[in-house]
Amino acid sequence: MQRLLLIITIFLVIISGCAKQELKDITPLTKSIADKPVSVDEIVNIISFSENEIANWKLLSPVKIYDKKTIFDYIDGAAEIYFAYDFVRVATAEYKKGDVSILIDAYELLSSNSAFGIYSLNRYQDANYVNIGNEGILTGVALDFWKDKYYCKVYCLDSSETYQQDVILFGNKIASKIKGCGEEPPIIKRLSPNGLIPKSAKYFTRKLGLDNIHFVADENVFNLDGETKGIVAEYNINGNRYLSFIIEYPSAQKAELAFQSYIKYLSEKSKAINLSKLQPDKAKLFESDAKFYFVQINEQSLSGFWDVESLDIAKSILGG
């Protein structure tokens, strides 16, 4: 039980991140090309099972639904991060067999990109990945996975791995009821494969999402607003680890404004490094506290890296 509580505590700390950020920065967009939210009946059905369907586990009480107005009643202190990924609602249920409970949360987001994004915050290279939904992570008797516009969590309140197969069974049953599939955000395909650490890519569209991946600044220096699409991934080249990022903007003008904003921020806190191969108006390299930071603009996107440990490594990454 202590192990499970530790897992859940760590998870809540990770996703809560900058929970005190004002919600005005993470209000869902009023315009979206995403599908309309599913009906309440559909989201309830996804996590509703009879005893015969699910190895004699019995639904303890009717499935509960929490929406944008009531979500804080359910996970107060850790709800803001879901708004950063276009939260719609969550359905939650408790199943019981004897004295043991299994809890299920099915979060509906506005799009499959958002579902992948909230799930991706928990990805790491050596996680126990399982083929449930599009992808899942199994840690003891706790499972989280994503499929279509859903991010789902299944966890047993008894830490004994005796119940791991039951958790997996619930996960597969839930995934089978989700009609769509969804794909990883297309921006992931833009990451260079050279040195990319598998399963390290994390997706965001707003500042709070980025803050939970890599904290850059108190200010919104990248002008992230929900219409932006960003990816951060970890790289390892010859034993040197660093983070690389790409951010796409809806227009070249917005990309240029973000580029100038980030350059201004770096210029105030770092020393610019002049490299003859870089176009001064398109790419900048900076040094701060013996680490190197790079950003460049290309039409409607910014890309770069953080936390490179030497100038030689930075030059190598930049191609010479």
Domains in the chain: ranges and CATH: 2-177 (3.40.1000), 186-317 (no CATH)
Burial class (CB in 10 A: 0-12, 13-18, 19+), 180: exposed
Nearest CA-CA partner of 270 in 220, 215, 216 = 216
Alpha-carbon distance of 215 to 302, in angstroms, equals 17
| Per-residue pLDDT tens over the stretch 172-220 | 999 999 999 999 999 999 999 999 999 999 999 999 999 999 999 999 9
Q: What is the pLDDT of residue 37?
A: 59
Q: What percent of the chain clears pLDDT 90, i.e. is strictly above it?
A: 80
Decide: helix, strand or coil at residue 16: helix
Q: Are 231 and 191 in contact (CB under 8 A)?
A: yes
Alpha-carbon distance of 293 to 173, in angstroms, equals 45
Half-sphere exposure for 246 (CA within 13 Å, toward CB):
18
Q: What is the pLDDT of residue 4?
A: 39
Token readout for 53 is 């369907």
Half-sphere exposure for 112 (CA within 13 Å, toward CB):
14
| Per-residue pLDDT tens over the stretch 239-295 | 999 999 999 999 999 999 999 999 999 999 999 999 988 988 999 999 999 999 999
Alpha-carbon distance of 158 to 304, in angstroms, equals 44
Q: What is the pLDDT of residue 280?
A: 85
| Mean pLDDT for all residues in the chain | 89
Q: What is the pLDDT of residue 319?
A: 85
| Per-residue pLDDT tens over the stretch 95-115 | 999 999 999 999 999 999 999
Alpha-carbon distance of 266 to 100, in angstroms, equals 53
